[in-house]
Amino acid sequence: MSENIVTLNDGTFNDAISGDRPILVDFWAEWCGPCRVIAPVLEEIAAENEGLTIGKLNIDHNPMPAAKHDVMSIPTLILFQDGVEKKRIVGAAPKHRLLQELSEFL
């Protein structure tokens, strides 16, 4: 796994999203097929983009951040900067579309 990927939990979530460096949080679960499909794509993006951190938050083990941010389906990717949601992508998307959606933060 890339060093730009961090595992988040209920206790580390708020600190992780509060920094000035953009962090793309992947709200996922082990039973979610599309979540498993998008995981290697996110690893590639993390390895290729030094200025972006990707945070993985398992919603089954850490439900509070997902509820607070109105995550209704997974995978949901939310890009935070300075504690503020800047971009939301719902559903699995191909790498080129994710890069397009995130281009202003890369």
Active site amino acids: 32, 35
Query: How far is Cα 62 from Cα 101, in angstroms, rounded to an integer?
Result: 26
Q: Quick one: DSSP state of residue 6? A: E
Integer Cα distance of 41 and 28 in angstroms: 14
- What does the DSSP 8-state code read for residue 74? S
